[in-house]
Homo-oligomer: A and B are copies of this chain.
């Protein structure tokens, strides 16, 4: 494992993180870079062997983070902040280098949003596919002041 790179990412993240979309600590530590297209959100994940599983490829959970971030930022940019109700990820190929994913909407409703994200390696081979269902927070709910519960309990 490249410990120098790991430390560099860590120190950079610790210095530059903010509790905001695109800049929170975890996104920084993973080295995620977020960019936008026409109703799409792309997240690039650089080489990072400190995020590997014991078998020597990128941990599935890290892939899930990148794809979750791509869909969450898509909502935030083009609609408003939402919470993930559920997400399914299929792992088609192991990833052992840099990769990127792109999220897009399947359908946007007033409160419910369906979206998908596809993750590719450097050779643009499809490596993972995710779909998710989101609940948008009420309009006016600021991310910083967002409720910390999905919903009040009970019917």
Contact = CB atoms under 8 A, between A and B. Distances in A.
Interface of A: 1, 3, 6-7, 10, 14, 17, 19-21, 24-26, 29, 50-57, 59-62, 64-66, 68-69, 72, 78-81, 83-94, 96, 106-112, 114, 116, 126, 129, 131, 133, 135-136, 143-144, 146, 148-155
Give the number of times this chain occurs in the complex, counting copies.
4
Looking at chain A's contact residues, the main secondary structure is mixed
Contacts of A155: 78-80, 108, 110, 136
A143 to B, nearest CB: 5
Contacts of A154: 108-110
Contacts of A52: 19, 24-26
Contact of A94 (B10, B57, B81, B150): B150
A29 to B, nearest CB: 8
